[in-house]
Amino acid sequence: MSITRKAKYSVAIADDHVLVRKALGRLINTFADYFILFEASNGEEVIKIINNRELQLPDILILDVNMPGMNGYETATWINNHFPQIKVLALSMLNDESVIIKMLKSGAKGYIMKNVEPDDLKEAFDSIIKKDFYLPDYISGKVISGLQKDVLSLSEKIELTPKEKTFLQFLCTELSYKEIAQKMFVSPRTIDDYKSSLCDKLKVKTRVGLVIFGIRYGLIDINTD
């Protein structure tokens, strides 16, 4: 599809379903300021195209979470390590906290469901470009309220205890709260206290909200498990 207007931002799509890729491509080419740069069917193909391209890198990579071969987690991690300037937007049918957390921990800048309206996808693009992050409220309810810079300055000092920092790091894993308690050698009641304290300090309501905040503001090391 030819682009007659001058679009500002390039978008790549990685999804193993051809119809999904083609439909997304046609839709995105109608968005003001965005155009499709390339399409790929899996992570290996994304890497091959990016490594062999003589043209520009995509500004945004829409990345399906579940793909054969190199999946979304692995591909996002590779992109984050080699081309962190590419903003990964995870795409999935799964509204699951563990999946969302794992994709964000792998370096994704946002997460969106496959059944969203076109306006929501455009909103996701705009947010990732302007704010470097996007997560819609419907994913886990109102998961975070203090994410925007005008609510919380990045320079504002957040005082966490060593135990709270350790707990926040464990939240990035697939461990249950009971398993985290065992790892930290504390009672489940103490873990509840850590969660309540962090939710109060960071102005969030859920586990995924805590993880999002921790990643967004550098309170979590995404290179460790």
Please state, in angstroms and rounded to a whole number, the distance separating the CA atoms of residues 149 and 146. Answer: 8
DSSP-derived pairing of the beta strands 110-113 and 87-92:
parallel
With bands split at pLDDT 50, 70 and 90, how would you rate the model's confidence at 83? very high
pTM score of the predicted model: 0.72
CA–CA distances in Å: residue 28 to residues 3, 35, 37, 109, 129: 11, 6, 11, 18, 15
Highest mean pLDDT among 133-147, 175-189, 208-222: 175-189
CA-to-CA distance for 7 and 23, rounded, in angstroms? 19
Separation CA 163–CA 131 (nearest Å): 30
Measured CA to CA, the distance from residue 225 to residue 101 in angstroms comes to: 12
- Considering only residues 139 and 219, tell me which one the structure prediction assigns the higher pLDDT: 219
Nearest to 17 by CA among 52, 54, 80, 68: 68
| DSSP bridge pairs for 38 | 12
| Residue-level pLDDT at 7 | 66
Give the amino acid at 218: G
pLDDT digit string (tens) for 95-116? 777 788 888 888 898 899 988 8
